[in-house]
Amino acid sequence: MSILVNQNSRILVQGITGNEGNFHAWQMYQYGNNVVAGVTPGKGGEWVFEGKVPVFDSVKVAREATGADVSVIFVPAHFAADAMLEAADAGIGLIVCITEGVPVRDMMRVRRYLDQKGSKLIGPNCPGLITPSEAKVGIIPGNITKPGNVGVISRSGTLTYEVLYAMMLLGIGTSTCIGIGGDPISGLNFTDVLEMFEMDPLTDQIVLIGEIGGTDEQKAADYISRYMTKPVVAFIAGQSAPPGKRMGHAGAIIESGSGTAEEKIKALQEVGVQIAKHPEEIALLLNR
């Protein structure tokens, strides 16, 4: 079982003719995804991947022609907001924005519009998601995980890869892994994804990878205490970060003593979440 994407997902790539978009779209295509279309304004009528995937000028036309229901965005930061709005306006149900550096003001506008349209957003500034052996949407390597019953949610791209690989080495597979990103304003958050995993009958355990800044992990702890019946293992990055210094993501900053790793770890431990001391320990805790 999976959440959000599976082997039937029909994937559209915005920015497919750019260097990054083309490279990662090809990785997705090679993984076995249904990459049904690309979008680059002014390049409509072209084809990529040896004539197998058509390119369109707009998401609306691409969706009408191919039935795409997932869009992944690889465009520069100053075009990313318009790309997300265009995908939502075309009726795309799931939008995955890989682009980093999207201005906060732009994201405020995007969130308001997507909430009205009912489209789900992952990102921006995220690695995307993967349902092993079914669908890979974004930049998570397909060779570091295998199918299984552990759902993974993460604010950190690099730590996601490390944890997935450590799990695989111990024979632990993944139902779906979602990198939600760590920007101050983004799409799906921990509680959104926890709810999906709680409802998924083939996800038995959940891994949560958090980081300093904000209160998303504390909100996740509150949700876990109220609604979760499945065990959760967590790791919080940035435990040695000094106040006022951003670490990694734009949202990973301790301000006025708030958003510290200690606060987040305490909140999660109080509701029964096992806390790993380092990323590799997550796999060991799952095997207990």
Active site residues: 249
Comparing CA positions, the residue from 93, 136, 165 lying closest to residue 2 is 136
Answer whether 38's CB lies under 8 Å from 53's CB: yes
Q: Is residue 66 helix, strand or coil? A: helix
What type of residue is 284?
Answer: L
Q: For tokens 């490279």, what's the residue?
A: 23
Contacts of 200 (CB under 8 A, 6+ apart): 1, 2, 3, 151, 175, 176
Q: Parallel, antiparallel, or unpaired: how do β-strands 174-179 and 128-131 relate? A: antiparallel
Q: Environment class of residue 140 by beta-carbon count within 10 Å: exposed (0-12), middle (13-18) or buried (19+)?
A: buried
Edge-first strand listing for the sheet containing 120-122: 47-48, 53-56, 34-39, 10-14, 70-73, 94-97, 120-122
CA 29 to CA 76: how far, in whole Å? 22
CA distance 288 to 277: 15
